[in-house]
Amino acid sequence: MCPFQADTFHPNLTCFVGQPCGSASSLQLTVTMKVQPRADGTVTGTSDVIGTEAIGVCSPRPSQTLPVSLTFPVTGSTSNIVFGGTSATVESLSNQLANFRRTFSFAGTRRDTMVSGTLSYNEEFAAPAGGISTTGSGSVAIEMTLRVRAVPR
């Protein structure tokens, strides 16, 4: 609603009023780490984070699903395996371009056939891209366990 009222209809009048609203996102991801232990106790490799994010936008618009596909370097040692990084993309959200900045970080430890640790995720977006009309952010930390599986050479 415009910040004023009139009894007549103005067909060429457009007004934009900032209106806070809540939305929720649902992230479904598969994390695959390819880790190579070294003789000095360090590890190297890559981690693929692949999945989708369903973003619930302000009503009455329906939620929208966006792909997530990122690869990060894995470093550290068997007692402190880490990966992470930031991705900046421009994607279509509710028929307008939006800037997305996603940050993932993982820190964990390998014990026998498991890698246990915490995956942290933060997201910021602005739509339209380069504008300030709609912005949002959020973060979550997820405790996770990855099963170690030998890969044939």
Query: What is this structure's pTM?
Result: 0.72
pLDDT at 127: 73
pLDDT at 71: 94
* Six-digit token string for 113: 């056939």
Q: pLDDT for 49-68, tens place per residue?
A: 999 888 776 655 557 888 88
Q: pLDDT for 83-120, tens place per residue?
A: 999 988 888 776 778 788 889 999 999 888 888 999 89
Model confidence band, residue 1 (pLDDT cutoffs 50, 70, 90): very low
| pLDDT at 138 exceeding the cut of 70 | yes
- The C-alpha atoms of residue 137 and residue 153 are separated, in whole angstroms, by 42
Strands (E), the chain: 25-37, 43-55, 64-77, 80-93, 96-111, 114-127, 134-147
Instruction: Give the residue with greater pLDDT, 34 vs 148.
Output: 34
- The C-alpha atoms of residue 58 and residue 55 are separated, in whole angstroms, by 10
| CB-CB neighbours of 46 under 10 Å | 14
User: Where do the structural domains in the chain lie, given as residue ranges?
Assistant: 25-147
Instruction: Give the residue with greater pLDDT, 125 vs 87.
Output: 87
